[in-house]
Amino acid sequence: MSTLTCTLIQTKLFWEDAISNRKMFEEKINSIKEKTEIVILPEMFATGFSMQPERFAETMNGETIEWMKRIASNKKIILTGSLMIEEDGHYFNRLIWMLPNGSYGCYDKRHLFAYGDEHNHYTAGNKRCIASVKGWKINLQVCYDLRFPVWARQSSPSPLVERGQGVGEYDILIYVANWPERRSLAWKVLLQARAIENQCYVIGVNRVANDGNNIYHSGDSMVIDPLGEIMYYKKDEEDIFTIVLDKKHLETIRTKLPFLKDADSFIINNE
């Protein structure tokens, strides 16, 4: 129970073509030879970072959700990534956390990328989603959220600190993204910063190649340990990478360097 195996899929995406993307991802997932527990896909994995949800958004009963249920069940994995979802007349950039039994959790992207006009097409979320797997807590976030450290910050004081059971609201922070190469320095530096300041593992999964707007993505998918050390990094190329995370390593760091105990207390206003 002290380890968790995760697989990152860094890939090109077919622009606004959910059928082709589902087929491509199914082939890639089926090619994974190692035993894995969580498979992580990029942001808007069914379409790319499109601002046309009126044309391409699906419902929570749509084909891509059903596809995720089937893949998670057949492969006995947790499958996660975001897609455009229509619900009650609103569009969301929604991360889905699909369990093998068909149950799922959702996180609606909080920080919409106004520079790319996302705020004019999608509705922002106002609740964090922290999943639980084998005793691990996993904070799920999407792309532009990375620039806003308060939204990812470990709650302090943590109830776990007060009960003397250790430090940390969560153990892993996952970002799925369509982050362009022109701002890749910020992506890499901020992923490391989130790991160091929150004393957690950070996983960032990005896409590669040009999108339908001819914007190039260099990938730069990463896994970072709680000290900020890079455990995995891949630039430009498509890649499927499986890594085992060690809970004992995390707990040792938090015990020897109990920095979170000195953090400021705060409350996030979600309005």
Q: Which two tokens stand for residue 166?
A: 């250790």
Instruction: Say whether pLDDT at 160 is over 80.
Output: no
- Which of 6, 16, 37, 43 is catalytic? The answer is 43
- Segment 110-145, tens digit of pLDDT: 999 999 999 999 999 999 999 999 999 999 999 999
104 pLDDT more than 80: yes
The radius of gyration of the chain from alpha carbons, rounded to an integer in Å, stands at 18
Q: How many CA atoms lie within 13 A of 20 on its CB side?
A: 9
Percent of the chain with pLDDT over 70: 94
Its pTM stands at 0.95
Is residue 43 part of the annotated active site? The answer reads: yes
Does position 163 have pLDDT exceeding 80, yes or no?
Answer: no
Per-residue model confidence (pLDDT) at position 165:
45
**Distance, CA of 96 to CA of 11 (rounded, Å):** 18
Query: From the candidates 6, 106, 143, 200, which is the catalytic residue?
Result: 143
Active-site option among 69, 109, 188, 234: 109
CATH of domain 3-262: 3.60.110.10
User: Is 87 assigned a catalytic role?
Assistant: no
The verdict on whether 247 is a catalytic residue reads: no
Say if residues 32 and 242 touch (Cβ distance below 8 Å): yes
3-state secondary structure of 170: coil
Which DSSP string corresponds to 175-225? EE----GGGHHHHHHHHHHHHHHHTSEEEEE--EEE-TT--EEEEEEEEE-
In the chain, what are the domain boundaries?
A: 3-262
Q: Tens digits of per-residue pLDDT, 63-98?
A: 999 999 999 999 999 999 999 999 999 999 999 999
Whether the Cβ atoms of residue 115 and residue 96 lie closer than 8 Å to each other:
no
Q: How confident is the model at residue 158 (pLDDT cuts 50, 70, 90)?
A: low
Answer yes or no: is pLDDT of 156 > 70.
no
pLDDT band at 261 (very low <50, low <70, confident <90, very high): confident
